[in-house]
Structure 1
């Protein structure tokens, strides 16, 4: 796999190794609290690896650098996944991993921008992230700042009217500095996303709203990298969206096979088993 062996950001590590490290860190944090949205973290790890070690411009030592690309986590309950990649990127110290979810931690269980370096917004009220991203992208354009805004949102947020209002606004303002990333894992709290409120045909809808749209396998690093490259290369004055079909709990087969994975139940003795299974699949 070309994407898997690609070395990134001046290190000798590949994207596949980065994604594996993100999954491992997420599992270790989940073990600290005995719970967490681990299914989403394992599923989105490849997209996060490509985001932070292929696509994004940032300075780990200066998370508020004005020239940085902004990465917005609309889905606040994915915070465990973002903390894992922020540690991998050197923005958060790995020593803080064991404080996850504790009262004085900079890593609360749901993401809060005021607590965590590198977290751009406080997400959680689903459907708000894209609207904030539109405002940020418009502001950067008016300041003539060439930075890009990436907004990671869930398939569940496609059922929120505010998402489509923001999509319409982004196209109206020709925000070619805005890239929306949709994690389509087909899981919500009450069941499959497609059974709660079906959003298909999804690509056609985004295109009808004036966006450049791609849909790829979010657990195929080749496809993920190519999608980022294509999105950034679009010459038309329009925002871009990439829909990533991901598998919940990717990398830990015995968790992948569970029927309910939105908040996957992991027994106390299963955290070490999950880490052991992940270790077996560690990329070289």
Structure 2
């Protein structure tokens, strides 16, 4: 991978991580059209996502600091256990457990068989349709303050599905949130907050495993990955602000049609042998 390819993949990561269209699917697809037609790999995807989550951390910095502070203080009784921010801290922890457990149990499949473009195409279409149903049928009346432990677990199970490229971490959790009756803004905000522990853990886990491993670093290059991560951070920060404004007055339908169209296009390209699975 050269520097230009790294920047392209970083920009793709930043553009697609927060939109409900699956960044891992787009990295997998774009990799097929770069010189060498190679899958960037699950490790590259996980590490470059550190950049986009740093963008989330910066964008929601005040919220994150307040939640962590009040959650920690609640452990020692200086803040009530039912304080909204302390509760949010616990709900983020609880919601992060499913993807953490599944990520360790199915790591080999995530790195290999789950990255088949046939699976990617199917997940793009199926979860696009689910997003459409949740967006159109969900009551969308509940604010984030109404989030319960049960709903936090369901959010976490939806995020767990994003281990399969094509599902979309934000798409899966936003879909679940709207299906549970939360507003678009509430569902999206919690999806962003919930993603941070899982993405940082996955990214740094893959990073530490890659350091000193010639076979892995030769596949994508640590220096190029760092450039991609920086590009993902810059672009991702811009996309977060745009998406939060967009959903305040618009539905998710444009993303639904995009997902279905991309999935069908992938089927055609795979069927005619233009790209390989």
Normalised TM-score (structure 2)? 0.28
Q: Which has the higher strand share?
A: 1
Q: Which has the higher helix share?
A: 2
